[in-house]
Amino acid sequence: MTTRRLVLTRSAAVVGAASAGLLLPGIVRAQSNRVRVGFMLPYTGTYAQLGVNIENGVRMAINEKGGKLGGREIEWFKVDDESEPSKGVENAQRLVQRDKVDVLIGTVHSGVQMGIQRVARESGVLSLIPNAGAHAATRGLCAPNVFRTSFTNSQPTLALGKPMVDKGLKKAVWITWKYAAGDEAFEGFKQSYTKAGGTIVKELGLPFPNVEFQALLTEIASLNPDAVACFFAGGGAAKFIRDYAAAGLKDKIPLWGSGFLTEGVLDAAGAAADGIMTTMHYADSLDTPRNNQFRKAFATTFKLQPDVYAVQGYDTGLLLAQGMEAVKGDIGNKQALYKALENQTIDSPRGKWTMSKAHNPIQDIYLRRVENKDNKVIGIAAKALADSGAGCKMAGA
């Protein structure tokens, strides 16, 4: 067993059997009739906390439904994908071929997701995407067995441009990590900002997960735009917010972004984050009975404050539990299961949402402002926003 493979099972005997070789997991499955669920998430690196919150969210939702899927016990498996795209296929194959999972839940990083997508399409394993927003997963490379419970990378930023221009911020610099998530977030920003009458004066970027922002912040200061818009997430986002303030830009050039910028990082960023404006499909302060109950239960169970990643994990657990309930645990009845997953309404802490034909959430996008370590809702920036699903060729899409 490699050090990256973290297998969670319900008994030491099962751990021993599963670690002994490739044949044994099949035997364990036959004996136990358990549903085998694999997490492929980052548990190290700049996205580590995102992985933890997603897993916690999934477990919480399933526990609330009695801890079973369609009446069947669960056997859990975990792989740390390290947000490393070059290992994406290999890690997904570990879960699918070696551990023989029935369901693969993953991942966070869009580049790694492309490896999962390949394995999912080749193997036909049920694949639930709890974060990674790579367009291709629910566009050109969509598949009947792949469902996303989060967003596409351009969904939040398609709602970002207009509120900026409405505030009189007509010249912006864009800055991001240069990989699919940042590039596709830019696509949404460019479309919405230019349509509203804004001009993008410069696009800046650095490789993921580099956090040496200083030279780029100096360039922003000299360009002196009306505003800066960006995509960053996880530990790197907290550092960007702190460095932006330390460079003296916070009170001179308003900072806007795809909402991941301020998710799960507000304690680490402190006062440097106050006033940042973002668009996102969730906000801590959504004052609904559903969100309030979720936040209280999550904080009590995990001694952590939930964020958008916890919500996406929770919704993944709800979707899986509801789908498995509909087929009474018969995960082999793929046609009925996929139909059930397509037709669910998810009563989420973010607000109710449904699946698009290409298997991506149709959801409201909120405009938020950071106040005292909280993402405060200012309003709805886009109602029931669906991704285009362009290029998805699937029956019904």
The residues binding ligand BEZ (CB under 6 A) are 108-110, 131-134, 153, 181, 233, 260
Distance in Å, CB of 300 to ligand BEZ, minimum: 26
Distance in Å, CB of 136 to ligand BEZ, minimum: 11
Give the residue among 50, 9, 47, 59 at the shortest CA–CA distance from 316: 59
Q: At what angle do helices 308-326 and 289-302 cross, to 10 degrees?
A: 100
Distance in Å, CB of 349 to ligand BEZ, minimum: 18
Whole-angstrom distance, CA of residue 263 vs CA of residue 191: 24
β-bridge pairing 277-280 and 361-371: antiparallel
Distance in Å, CB of 239 to ligand BEZ, minimum: 15
* Torsion (CA) 252, 256, 261, 266 in degrees, nearest 10: 50
Which positions ≥6 away from 89 have C-beta within 8 Å?
115, 118, 119
Distance in Å, CB of 157 to ligand BEZ, minimum: 11
Choice between 131 and 278, CB closer to ligand BEZ? 131
CB-based contact 180:110 (threshold 8 Å): yes
Choice between 25 and 257, CB closer to ligand BEZ? 257
Distance in Å, CB of 58 to ligand BEZ, minimum: 17
Choice between 151 and 338, CB closer to ligand BEZ? 151
Choice between 130 and 163, CB closer to ligand BEZ? 130
Give the residue among 126, 170, 171, 176 at the shortest CA–CA distance from 156: 176
Choice between 128 and 321, CB closer to ligand BEZ? 128
CB-based contact 109:91 (threshold 8 Å): no
Choice between 262 and 348, CB closer to ligand BEZ? 262
Choice between 192 and 312, CB closer to ligand BEZ? 312
Choice between 49 and 192, CB closer to ligand BEZ? 49
φ/ψ of 10, rounded to 5, equals: -90, -10
Distance in Å, CB of 286 to ligand BEZ, minimum: 19
Q: Which amino acid is at 110?
A: S
The answer for 67, left when phi > 0, alpha when psi is -120 to 50, beta otherwise, is left
Choice between 91 and 153, CB closer to ligand BEZ? 153
DSSP-assigned beta bridge partners for residue 171: 199
CB-based contact 207:178 (threshold 8 Å): yes
Distance in Å, CB of 83 to ligand BEZ, minimum: 8
Distance in Å, CB of 47 to ligand BEZ, minimum: 6
Give the DSSP letter string of 331-367: TT-HHHHHHHHHHPEEEETTEEEEE-TTS-EEEEEEE
CB-based contact 351:343 (threshold 8 Å): no
Distance of CA 209 to the CA centre of its chain: 17
- For residues 202-240, b (16+ Cβ closer than 10 Å) or e, as one string? eebbbebbebebeebbeebeeeebbbbbbbbbbbbbbbb
Distance in Å, CB of 110 to ligand BEZ, minimum: 4
Choice between 74 and 158, CB closer to ligand BEZ? 158
